[in-house]
Amino acid sequence: MTKTHSDAAAILGERVRDQRLKLGLTLEDLASLSEMHWTSVGKIERGQVHPNVETLVRLATALNADPGEFVTGLNSSMYSKRVHGLTAADFIREREAARRPEAS
């Protein structure tokens, strides 16, 4: 069994594969249209690698799709290397709380 990069990469890859198959394209077809090597497309589809933004846009363009369709619903908890789950809103809230004077 092939090791995936992350749950997010696996989901994204599945979405790319589903769209490719829906259009009746081979890996080689999609690779050619995306100006990539077919093995790279295969690794993305299997979730072994997570594409950068340029690659995602190239794939989406070749598949007549919006790149956002491939990343909708993905979040940082789907990546195993995330150290904490803080967001900018959490940070700002804590910073503001630290600035407030203590009530006597």
DSSP class of residue 77?
Answer: G
What is the four-CA torsion angle of 80, 78, 51, 56, rounded to 10 degrees?
Answer: -170
Decide if 26 contacts 57 (C-beta within 8 A).
Answer: no
Q: Which tokens belong to 83?
A: 């150290």
pLDDT mean across residues, the chain: 90
List, for residues 19-69, the tens digit of each pLDDT value.
999 999 999 999 999 999 999 999 999 999 989 999 999 999 999 999 999
Decide if 62 contacts 33 (C-beta within 8 A).
Answer: yes
List, for residues 3-19, the tens digit of each pLDDT value.
878 899 999 999 999 99
